[in-house]
Chain A
Amino acid sequence: MTKAQRRIAKGRGAAVRGAIGRWGATPYLFILPWLVGFVAFTLGPLLFSAAMSLFSWPVLGAPRFVGLGNYRTMLTDDPQFWKSLAITLKFAAIFVPLNLAAALGLALLISRPVRGAALFRSIFYLPSVVSSVAVAIVWSWILNSEYGILNWLLGRLGLQGPRWLQDPAWAVIAMVITSLWGVGTMMLIFYTALKSIPRDIYEDALIAGASPIQQFFSITLPLITPSFLFNLITSTIGAMQQLSLVLLLTKGGPLKSTYFYGLYVYENAFRHFKLGYAAANAWFMFIIILVLTGLIFKSSSLWVFYEHEVAGARKGGNA
Chain B
Amino acid sequence: MKRRRSGVLTVSLVFVLALGGCAAKKPEKVSIRFATWDSEETLALQQALVDQFVATNPDIEVVLEGYGDDFDTKLAAGLGAEDAPDVMYMWNFSHYKGGLEPLDGWIAKEKRGFKKDFYETLFNYTSIDNKTLGLPIGYTTHVVYYNKALFDKAGVSYPKGDWTWDELLATAKKVANPKEKIYGFAFQGAPDPYDFEHYLWNAGAGYLGAEGKLRGGIDSPKVIALLEKMQTAMKEGYAVATEGSGAKELRSGKVAMFINGSWSMPAIQKDGIPFGLAKLPSVEEGRPSVSVVSISGIAMYAKSKHKEAAWRFMKFWTSAEANKFRIGHEMPVLRSVAEGEKLTADPLMSVYYTMLEQSAGHVPTSYRVENWSELSDKIGQALQKIFNPSIYESPEKSIAALVE
Residue A61, interface by CB 8 Å:
yes
Given contacts A146-B240, A253-B190, A272-B374, A166 and B389 within 8 Å (CB-CB): yes
In the complex, which range does the number of interface residues on chain B fall in? 20 to 34
Considering the chains assembled together, what is the distance between the CA atoms of A286 and B263 in angstroms? 40
* A60 close to B99 (CB less than 8 A): yes
Name A275's contact: one of B80, B243, B374, B388 (CB within 8 Å).
B80
Considering the chains assembled together, what is the distance between the CA atoms of A253 and B241 in angstroms? 14
* B98 close to A60 (CB less than 8 A): yes
* A255 close to B388 (CB less than 8 A): yes
* A271 close to B384 (CB less than 8 A): no
Considering the chains assembled together, what is the distance between the CA atoms of A165 and B249 in angstroms? 16
* B254 close to A146 (CB less than 8 A): yes
Residue A121, interface by CB 8 Å:
no
Residue A222, interface by CB 8 Å:
no
- Closest B-chain residue to A170, C-beta based? B390
List A contacts of B96 (CB < 8 A).
60
**Which candidate, B9-17, B71-79, B285-293, is the interface stretch facing chain A?**
B71-79
List B contacts of A275 (CB < 8 A).
80
Q: Binding site of A, secondary structure by majority: helix, strand, loop or mixed?
A: loop
Considering the chains assembled together, what is the distance between the CA atoms of A60 and B381 in angstroms? 27
Interface residues of B in 372-393 (CB under 8 A from A): 373-374, 381, 384-385, 388-391
**Total residue contacts A-B, CB cutoff 8 A:** 60
List A contacts of B381 (CB < 8 A).
255-256
List A contacts of B189 (CB < 8 A).
166, 254
Residue B148, interface by CB 8 Å:
no
Considering the chains assembled together, what is the distance between the CA atoms of A34 and B111 in angstroms? 56
Residue A270, interface by CB 8 Å:
yes
List A contacts of B240 (CB < 8 A).
146
List B contacts of A254 (CB < 8 A).
189-190, 384, 388, 390
In the complex, which range does the number of interface residues on chain A fall in? 20 to 34
List B contacts of A269 (CB < 8 A).
76
* A147 close to B252 (CB less than 8 A): yes
Task: Map CB proximity to A onto B44-88 as digits: 1 under 8 Å, 0 otherwise.
Answer: 000000000000000000000000000011001001100000000
Name A167's contact: one of B181, B190, B252, B390 (CB within 8 Å).
B390
CB distance from A147 to the nearest CB of B (A): 6
Residue A230, interface by CB 8 Å:
no
Residue A140, interface by CB 8 Å:
yes
Considering the chains assembled together, what is the distance between the CA atoms of A93 and B23 in angstroms? 74
Residue A81, interface by CB 8 Å:
no
Considering the chains assembled together, what is the distance between the CA atoms of A273 and B77 in angstroms? 10
* B249 close to A147 (CB less than 8 A): yes
Residue B95, interface by CB 8 Å:
yes
* A169 close to B99 (CB less than 8 A): no
CB distance from B184 to the nearest CB of A (A): 14
Interface residues of A in 114-164 (CB under 8 A from B): 140, 144, 146-147, 163
Interface residues of A in 235-291 (CB under 8 A from B): 251, 253-256, 269-273, 275
Residue A168, interface by CB 8 Å:
yes
* B254 close to A163 (CB less than 8 A): no
* A273 close to B241 (CB less than 8 A): no
List A contacts of B98 (CB < 8 A).
60-61
Interface residues of B in 155-196 (CB under 8 A from A): 181, 189-190
| B96, B181, B189, most chain A CB atoms within 10 A | B189
Residue A59, interface by CB 8 Å:
yes
Considering the chains assembled together, what is the distance between the CA atoms of A275 and B73 in angstroms? 12
- Closest A-chain residue to B92, C-beta based? A271
* B390 close to A270 (CB less than 8 A): no
Considering the chains assembled together, what is the distance between the CA atoms of A254 and B249 in angstroms? 19
CB distance from B71 to the nearest CB of A (A): 11
- Closest B-chain residue to A266, C-beta based? B73
Considering the chains assembled together, what is the distance between the CA atoms of A138 and B329 in angstroms? 26
| B72, B76, B181, B374, most chain A CB atoms within 10 A | B76
List A contacts of B243 (CB < 8 A).
140, 144, 165-166
List B contacts of A168 (CB < 8 A).
388, 390-391
List A contacts of B99 (CB < 8 A).
59-60
| B96, B190, B252, most chain A CB atoms within 10 A | B190
CB distance from B274 to the nearest CB of A (A): 20
* A166 close to B390 (CB less than 8 A): yes
Considering the chains assembled together, what is the distance between the CA atoms of A271 and B240 in angstroms? 30
* B76 close to A270 (CB less than 8 A): yes
List B contacts of A167 (CB < 8 A).
388, 390
CB distance from A220 to the nearest CB of B (A): 43
List A contacts of B181 (CB < 8 A).
146-147
* A270 close to B72 (CB less than 8 A): yes
Q: Contact residues of B with A, CB < 8 Å?
A: 72-73, 76, 79-80, 95-96, 98-99, 181, 189-190, 240-241, 243, 249, 252, 254, 373-374, 381, 384-385, 388-391
Q: Contact residues of A with B, CB < 8 Å?
A: 59-61, 140, 144, 146-147, 163, 165-169, 251, 253-256, 269-273, 275
Q: Could you pull out 23 A-B pairs where Cβ atoms are within 8 angstroms?
A: A60-B80, A61-B98, A140-B243, A146-B181, A147-B181, A147-B252, A166-B243, A166-B388, A167-B390, A168-B388, A168-B390, A251-B190, A253-B190, A254-B189, A254-B384, A254-B390, A255-B381, A255-B385, A270-B72, A271-B373, A272-B373, A273-B76, A273-B95
